[in-house]
Structure 1
Amino acid sequence: MNASRHRSMLLAVTGTALALSLTACQDGSGTKSSSAATPSAPAASSPAATGTSDATDATGSAGSAGSKASAGSTDTSAGSSGTTGKQAAASTPVCTAADVRVTAARQDGPPYTHIVLTAKNTTRHSCRLTGFPHIQFVESHKQDVAAVAKSKPAAPVVLTAGAPAYALVKLSDGGVDENNEPVSAFAVMLEGDSTVITVAAPGSEGIAVDPAKALTGYWTPELRNGADDF
């Protein structure tokens, strides 16, 4: 009887010890699980931080590229502005009869076969002198004197305030048998303006003109050898 009780007590103690051992093992396992979770948190946050850094760098690069593109656009715009000389000239108003004073002077001679017309800007603003002077020397020839194409300038003729432009005009071939007519004054019109400008012929005796041989050059900033030789 005592042996049976002793065995029962021994089994009870053993069972209790085993239960305590299992509990201790479970507690240790829980401790290990908790400590494992602690390093995993930084590991999870590390990629997130790296991703944020990459996103910032990409934004910075894009911003830098955008700034360069913007600077490039500005430079291109500036370049365009620097190459608009002809466009600026085209925007200048065309000279009218009210803007210029036209005079005539002999060139070379004798015989006096050519005169030079000078159109001087008498205003305080710039104007653009286009084409050639439309000249009628005598009443019997109503058509304008023909223009010489080779004298046409390559660039627009823009007259600043007080600046002159010139046109060489052929009167005749200088022959004694030509059908010359004496001219003391003649009519000039500017291209784009129908106003008639009366120009006094140079010299006290005027000029001798053969309307069939007369020619005019284009308005130019200066008389050029060769291009105005006709």
Structure 2
Amino acid sequence: MNASRHRSMLLAVTGTALALSLTACQDASGTKSSSKAAPSAPAASSPAATGTSGVTDATGSAGSTGSKASAGSTDTSAGSSGTTGKQAAASTPVCTAADVRVTAARQDGPPYTHIVLTAKNTTRHSCRLTGFPHIQFVESHKQDVAAVAKSKPTAPVVLTAGAPAYALVKLSNGGVDENNEPVSAFSVMLEGDSEVITVAAPGSEGIAVDPEKALTGYWTPELRNGADDF
């Protein structure tokens, strides 16, 4: 009887200890699961609560990459539009004697101290007229006529098919004591081309030239209302 009661008490104690152990395990596992779940909640709510998407755009991640790319492309197009004219001019071939027809006409009335050279593109393609006409009026004066720097245009002179360019040329100072020589024709060379163009002097009696006083302007798309006067 005593042995039976002792066994029953032992079983009761053992059962109680087992129940307490299971309860402790369940509490521990519950604590672990809640500790794992705690960080996930802020992570899920962080973009909306803290404005992470705005920060992402500002720091140049996925949201702002498109924005920066479009801005960059806009800058590139703006830069290219600013240089397109120069690039196009640089790629245009230089005019040669075969591309243009050069003629001369008097400017103003007596004394005829200036003439205007016209170079007209006679081809079906564009060409670039650079520098100034290299002029020699008389055989005794082999040096090219000096150019006037102030007449140099700021932009390249590109002649489309049929388009002209002009150069003002000073013959003399118009004085009676100058060493003028009669000229019925003279030679012109284009910059970048070695072929000599023979140009007939205007007027039935030709022109009077003082080689020491002669000057030429640069090729320009137009005579610029006195800006090229010299």
Shorter chain as denominator, the TM-score bin is 0.7 to 0.9
Question: How many angstroms does 1:220 deviate by?
Answer: 0.6
RMSD: 6.1
Question: How many angstroms does 1:88 deviate by?
Answer: 1.9
Question: How many angstroms does 1:214 deviate by?
Answer: 0.7
Deviates more, 1:9-18 or 1:73-82: 9-18
Mapped to 2, the partners of 1:36 and 1:112 lie a distance apart of: 102
Q: Which runs of 4+ in 1 moved over 6 A?
A: 1-61
Alignment partner of 1:23 is 2:16: no
SS in 1 for 2:128: strand
Q: 1:53 to 1:11 in 2, by over 3 A?
A: same
SS in 2 for 1:188: strand
Q: 1:2 to 1:53 in 2, by over 3 A?
A: same
Mapped to 2, the partners of 1:22 and 1:159 lie a distance apart of: 99
Q: 1:32 to 1:114 in 2, by over 3 A?
A: closer
Consecutive unaligned residues in structure 2, runs of 5 or more: none
Deviates more, 1:173-182 or 1:95-104: 173-182
Question: How many angstroms does 1:228 deviate by?
Answer: 1.2
Q: 1:6 to 1:54 in 2, by over 3 A?
A: same
Which structure 2 residues correspond to residues 62-81 of structure 1 after superposition, within 5 A?
Answer: 62-63=62-63, 65-66=65-66, 68-70=68-70, 72-81=72-81
Question: How many angstroms does 1:45 deviate by?
Answer: 14
Deviates more, 1:74-83 or 1:192-201: 74-83
Which structure 2 residues correspond to residues 94-173 of structure 1 after superposition, within 5 A?
Answer: 94-173=94-173
SS in 1 for 2:61: helix
Mapped to 1, the partners of 2:46 and 2:204 lie a distance apart of: 104
Deviates more, 1:171-180 or 1:161-170: 171-180
Question: How many angstroms does 1:154 deviate by?
Answer: 1.0
SS in 1 for 2:96: coil
Q: 1:29 to 1:92 in 2, by over 3 A?
A: closer
Mapped to 2, the partners of 1:18 and 1:215 lie a distance apart of: 119
Mapped to 2, the partners of 1:31 and 1:155 lie a distance apart of: 80
8 A contact 2:57–2:64 mirrored in 1 = no
Mapped to 2, the partners of 1:83 and 1:180 lie a distance apart of: 47
Question: How many angstroms does 1:187 deviate by?
Answer: 0.2
Q: 1:68 to 1:58 in 2, by over 3 A?
A: closer
SS in 2 for 1:83: helix
Question: How many angstroms does 1:90 deviate by?
Answer: 1.7
Question: How many angstroms does 1:59 deviate by?
Answer: 13
How many pairs align? 230
How big is each residue's C-alpha offset from its partner over 1:20-54, in whole Å with a ceiling of 9 and x where there is no partner? 99999999999999999999999999999999999
- 1:92: which partner in 2? 92
Question: How many angstroms does 1:222 deviate by?
Answer: 0.8
How big is each residue's C-alpha offset from its partner over 1:173-192, in whole Å with a ceiling of 9 and x where there is no partner? 11122111111100000001
Q: 1:178 to 1:81 in 2, by over 3 A?
A: same
Question: How many angstroms does 1:79 deviate by?
Answer: 3.9
Q: 1:28 to 1:171 in 2, by over 3 A?
A: closer
How big is each residue's C-alpha offset from its partner over 1:111-130, in whole Å with a ceiling of 9 and x where there is no partner? 11110000001111111111
Mapped to 2, the partners of 1:200 and 1:43 lie a distance apart of: 89
Q: TM-score, normalised by structure 1?
A: 0.73
Mapped to 2, the partners of 1:102 and 1:11 lie a distance apart of: 128
Mapped to 2, the partners of 1:111 and 1:200 lie a distance apart of: 19
Which of structures 1 and 2 has the bigger CA Rg?
1
Deviates more, 1:57-66 or 1:22-31: 22-31
How big is each residue's C-alpha offset from its partner over 1:71-117, in whole Å with a ceiling of 9 and x where there is no partner? 53255235423443222212211111111000000001211111000
Q: 1:84 to 1:212 in 2, by over 3 A?
A: same
How big is each residue's C-alpha offset from its partner over 1:125-171, in whole Å with a ceiling of 9 and x where there is no partner? 11111100000000000110111111111111111111100000011
